[in-house]
Structures are given as C-alpha cells and as structure tokens.
Structure 1
Amino acid sequence: MADALRETRDVLVGRAEQQMRAHFGDSKLTTRQKLALTCRILFDGGHDSGLAGQITARGQEPGTYYTQRLGLGFDEIAETNLLLVDEDLNLLAGEGIPNPANRFHSWIYRARQDVNCIVHTHSLHTAALAMLEVPLQISHMDTTPLYDDCAFLKDWPGVPVGNEEGEIISAALGDKRAILLAHHGQLVTGATVEEACNLAVLIERAARLQLLAMAAGTIQPLPEALAREAHDWTSTERRNQANFAYYARRALRNHPDCVTNEVQI
C-alpha cells in the first residue's frame, strides 16, 4: 500500500502546500503588465460594461497608483496606455485623464494598507444580483475563497465621484476582500494584482451560480468549519499566482497586443 494512503489529512495538506511553494512563484511581470492582462482577462470573463469599471494598483511611491485612461474599454488597455495618478487623481505619468469615479479607490487604499490592487466592475451577473438587493451567498466549493469574505452594501450612494461615496464604500468593505454593491456592481481587493484578478473572476462566477441556483430552488449552506478551511486553503499566494498565470496565458493568446514585449508565464 502507498504510504500516502496511511497519512493524515494535515500531513497531506502540509505536503501539498510545500510542493506549491516550491513549484509556483512570481511571473516577473511588471505591475503595468499584470494590470493590462487583468483588464483583458476580465473583458473575456464577462466584465465588460462599456466604459464602466476601474482597476487600480499602488505605484512605487506612496499615495500613487496606476489606473486606466478614461475613454478606453477593458479590451483596449495595454501596459503602454496606463496612467499613474496621485490620491487626488492628478496625472503624474501617461496621457489622458483617469475616471473621476476612481476617487473611492483612494479611500480604500487609505483605510487598508494590506490592499495593493482594486478591481471594480459592473459585470453582468453581479450587477443582476445587485439589482435584487441580495448578498452574495457562497455555497459551492469553487467559490469558497469568498466565503465570509464578501461584504454587502444595500444602500446605493449614487454615482461614486464624491468623497461621501468613498467613505460609505470603504466603511462597508471593512476588512473583507470583496463587496457586492446594491444597484451597482462588485469590487474586490488584493494584496497583489494576481489576487484581485482571481477574486474578480470568481465573484462573477459566484453570482452567476447563485442566480442559477435561486431559479431552481433553495440554496443550502456549506458547513461553516469546512467552508472556512476551504477559504484558507484556496487563498494562498501560490494558488493566486498559479491561477493568474493560467488566465494570463489564455489572455495573451487572445490579446497579444496588451504587452509590448514577449513574456514568459
């Protein structure tokens, strides 16, 4: 009999984590390249809503971040047309203007030093769920990275271009990585671009699954202890890197123009 068949769950989990740490690592992509790839990944994943939605990531200098140019869709974002702005959305590098709605990103960055990337979109199924004023319900193993990690803002504060909206949204997010915004859309955060990208893909899938399940019957809850274990197991840096690498390779096949030089992922 194979030795692994006699080993405990904890031993097997520890071994798998060790193997992932040894095998997967940083892709060496720049922040600009990761952001451009994330925009194309999300476009292909159903997050397109015209010019709605923003993506940002902290810059090298404190109080700065990269974002896309207003007027470009997610399918047009490349590493060469991203902007660098300060917290007041003053342009520091690049050509064009940022989306005025980026202001509430500044509030989140100020409140959450652990956040280095924010993705906000009006993706189809999260927007549909938001219309129902129903929180995201996690009841499938694939979506457990969002288990007890997605806040809900029931009150729509209107178009988020003022400081009031920044206060409301950042307060509602609290210490969670994601939030469903009623009558609006979704927002996810990450310690890395990879993490934020993966959660953005996942929250749209979770909303779609929830709408399908609600149409068929009553959603049954996951056992809390097992769901929390799955959340932690699927939320590691190495898993985020591996998932993002897959999404990025797929995006590069569809959108080779989003990066200027050949990259290995």
Structure 2
Amino acid sequence: MADTLTTSKSELVATAERQMQTALPELVWATREKLALTCRILFEQGHDSGLAGQITARTDEPDTYYTQRFGLGFDEITASNLVHVNQDLKLVSGEGMPNPANRFHTWIYRARPDVNCIIHTHPLHVAALSMLETPLVVSHMDLCPLHDDCAFLEQWPGVPVGNEEGEIISAALGGKRAILLSHHGQLVTGSTIEEACTLALLIERAAQMQLLAMAAGDVKPIPAELGREAHDWISTPKRNQATFAYFARRALRSPMHRDCLA
C-alpha cells in the first residue's frame, strides 16, 4: 500500500530535494574543463555562429576570468587553450587574444558579485526572435527557470566592444539571470558554470518554442504564481549539475569532442 497518497505537495517537494542531495553526484571537472565542455555542449545544441559569442568564468584571482581564444570556434575549445585575462582583456596567462567583445562581461561582473559565469551567443532561434524586437515569453513548464528572470534590451546599442555597451547591457540585465538582446542574441549568467550552461540551452529552446507558437496563434500566459513555483523547483544547483552532466556525456560520446578536456 502506498504511504504518500495523502502527503502534501510541499512535503513531497522537500523530500525530493533531500534525495537529490545524495542521489545526484558532485561533478569532478575543474573550471577550465567545465568551460571547455560548455563550449562543446553549446556547439552541439546550435549555439555556434562562426566566431561570434563569448563564454567567461571567474578565476580564483580577483578581477580575472577564463575565456576562449579569439579565432577558435566552440568546437575547437579545450581546457588548455582557454586564455586567462584581466578586466582590461590583457593576458594573465595563455596564448592568443580574447574576443574584444568580452569587454561587456567585465561590466556585468563588476555589477554582479553573485555571477561567476557569463555565456553570450547568437543561436538561430534567439537571433530570429531578437529581430522582432519582442521580449521572450515564458509560457511552458520546461521553460520556467526563465520565468520573470529574463530581461529585454529593445534598442540595439551596436557591437559590444566599447564601455557604453557594457553599461547599457549590464543595466538592462539588472538582477536577472538572462537577457534577450534585440538584433543581437542572448546573454545568461550563473553562480556556476553548470547554471549558466543550462540557462543558455533553455533560452534557445524557449525562443524556438515561442516562434513556433506565434506562427500558430497567440501565446497564452501561465499563472504567475505557478511560474514562480516551477522556477524554484526546476532551477536548483543539483538539477543544474545533473543537466550539465547529461549534456557533457552526450558531447563526450562524439569522437570530435573527446579532446576538449585536454
């Protein structure tokens, strides 16, 4: 006989969250390895756009971060070819140069001490939605980690290589974890690399679903309180770790990505 048929939803949620703490293992990859895996995961999931896009993560040294070497695509990034730069985008270690557009990451890191990883890409469906100058609409359970957590920059400020773009984008992001940038792409932040990677995958799927739904009719909103509940249930550190690990395993099964941890 079942013992939980009269258990409240809040108790069931709490029980599941406790189980996740022990049932889902901690990830063993180092920061550089997680960044390289993120590049390969995003490549596999349609986030590559030539040399466009940047991924950064804070290092143990204050006011510095790892990022990919400019001139390499996401499918070419390895743990060893990442560069370590300071807030002026000058090399601390590594070879080559960072993407000059990384400058606006510095503004976000300075404004948001809670952020340890930033992912900015131009995936197809996000880029298409950005051309409509319309905000992201979260109207499906799977997308709720972005519920009331995705800002919108309606006016394109130009290529983000100047300090002005850094000020504009960081101000528009505010305290949210994601932002849709008109005529540009998307940016997500995370307290961990796993969180940022998961949100980056999700925002592209959200844009794809929104475009499909808009082509069929009007997108209907979900109740705000249920959206908040789903946001907090789905978007947790343990779930982000599990999601990241799943997509990492998928990438590592491909021969073309087995060098990414080198």
Bin of the TM-score, shorter chain as denominator length = over 0.9
Residue number in structure 2 paired with 1:40: 40
Residue number in structure 1 paired with 2:15: 15
- Cα distance in 1 between the residues matched to 2:35 and 2:253: 16
How far the C-alpha of 1:223 sits from its partner, in A, is 0.9
- Cα distance in 2 between the residues matched to 1:94 and 1:56: 14
- Cα distance in 2 between the residues matched to 1:193 and 1:109: 14
Query: 5 Å matches for 1:125-204?
Result: 125-204=125-204
- Cα distance in 2 between the residues matched to 1:258 and 1:222: 40
Pick the aligned partner of 2:259 from 236, 257, 260. Answer: 257
Where does structure 1 differ by over 6 angstroms across 4 or more consecutive aligned residues?
Answer: none
Residue number in structure 2 paired with 1:104: 104
- Cα distance in 2 between the residues matched to 1:182 and 1:164: 16
How far the C-alpha of 1:2 sits from its partner, in A, is 0.6
Query: 5 Å matches for 1:217-228?
Result: 217-228=217-228
SS at match of 2:157: coil
Q: Report sequence identity in percent.
A: 71
- Cα distance in 1 between the residues matched to 2:93 and 2:252: 25
Task: Tell which deviates more after alignment, 223-232 or 21-30.
Answer: 21-30
- Cα distance in 1 between the residues matched to 2:120 and 2:16: 33
- Measured on the aligned residues, the alpha-carbon RMSD in Å equals 0.6
SS at match of 1:84: strand
How far the C-alpha of 1:206 sits from its partner, in A, is 0.3
Read off the aligned partner of 1:235 and give its amino acid letter.
Answer: S
TM-score, normalising length: structure 2: 0.98
Residue number in structure 2 paired with 1:82: 82
How far the C-alpha of 1:154 sits from its partner, in A, is 0.4
**Paired residues, what number?**
260
TM-score, normalising length: structure 1: 0.97
Q: Structure 1 regions of 5+ residues with no counterpart?
A: 261-265
- Cα distance in 1 between the residues matched to 2:11 and 2:199: 28
Residue number in structure 1 paired with 2:49: 49
Residue number in structure 1 paired with 2:247: 247
